[in-house]
Amino acid sequence: MALALFYIAAAVALASTVLVITRRNAAHALIYLVVSLLSIAVIFFLLGAPFAAALEIVIYAGAIVVLFLFVVMMLNLGRRSAERERLWLRPGMWIGPAILVGVLLLEMLYVIVLDAPGTTRGAVVGPKEVGTALFGPYLLAVELAAMLLLAALIGAYHLGRRYLGDRREELS
Amino acid sequence: MTVPVIPIEHVLALAAALFVMGLVGVLVRRNVIFLLMSLEIMMNACGLAFIAAGAKWGQPDGQIMFMLILALAAAEVAVALGLVLQLERRFDSLDIDTAGEMSG
């Protein structure tokens, strides 16, 4: 049965990814990107990596996509934004993502309610093993990732501060 | 005991398909926001391949590589969106080709 769940989630991932790269509107593409990431999180779960699935949802679908959305909204601040938002939030636009997410929701309900006979139960690598390995042999990689994130923080602050400064001068 | 129920070839095929889709997006789209989204898709496909390999052998290393990819993606997107703001301010456009004047 895990096989069928995997193929359904894979189909959802492929369909939503095609829709991401063919949309004209960035906000719609971001919604489909969230659907794609959610379906890949389902696949991670089926592969016996529940921790990676949680991280996929929290960081990718949560933090990174929200960052994208912030910038998309910010770039449209001045230009006829009310009219644009009405165009974005047309009710018909939500049907596609809603159907795809509904499929994933049905899968999740199936796994939770029927307690998922036949998923990769023997081969689950849980958070405990991941944490032990992460802060054991991979400690140096964690330090490097920390430095990378610090560099990104400083870089993003530098680039964004000049933008906001000029923006404020234009407005005042 | 650790018989993978899902054949790894199919997971890797899915990862390859997603990667190719991201690559096509990078090559075809000229809007910077869409380029960055396609990059995210490509990195996500790499993460999927790592998770599949980790699940195949029942080791946590695949998930650790996925977490490092996640950190890389977060760092990349933070800096790149700052660059998008600068691009929009200087060229008043989100088209990546407007920034091609350095190509000599």
Question: How far is B103 from chain A, CA to nearest CA, in Å?
Answer: 23
CA Rg value for chain A? 20
Give pLDDT, residue B88: 82
> Tokens representing B68?
């490092």
> Tokens representing A49?
């990596």
Pick the residue from chain B with its C-alpha nearest to A149.
B75
- What average pLDDT does chain B have? 86
- Which residue of B3, B18, B51, B57 is the best one to mutate when testing the A interface, meaning the one whose CB has the most A CBs within 10 A? B51
Which ipTM score applies to this complex? 0.89
| C-alpha closest to that of A120 among B8, B15, B61 | B8
Cβ distance of B77 and A68 shorter than 8 Å: yes
Q: How far apart are CA B3 and CA A15, in angstroms?
A: 29
Pick the residue from chain A with its C-alpha nearest to B16.
A14
pTM of this structure: 0.86
> Tokens representing A71?
């910038």
> Does B43 or A161 have the greater pLDDT score?
B43
pLDDT at B61 over 50: yes
Alpha helices (H) along chain A: 2-22, 26-46, 50-55, 65-75, 81-88, 95-113, 127-134, 139-171
pLDDT classification of A84: cutoffs 50, 70, 90:
low
- What average pLDDT does chain A have? 83
Average pLDDT of the residues in B29-48: 92
**Residues in Cβ contact with B79 at an 8 Å cutoff, skipping those fewer than 6 apart:** A152, A155, A156, A159
Give pLDDT, residue A116: 58
- Which residue of B67, B89, B92 is the best one to mutate when testing the A interface, meaning the one whose CB has the most A CBs within 10 A? B67
B47, B66 contact by CB (below 8 A): yes
A152 touches chain B (CB under 8 A): yes
Give pLDDT, residue B31: 87
Of these ranges, A71-80, A96-105, B56-65, B67-76, the one predicted with the greatest mean pLDDT is B67-76
Give pLDDT, residue A169: 66
**Residues in Cβ contact with A34 at an 8 Å cutoff, skipping those fewer than 6 apart:** A61, A65, A97
Beta bridge partners of B95: B31
Give pLDDT, residue A12: 92
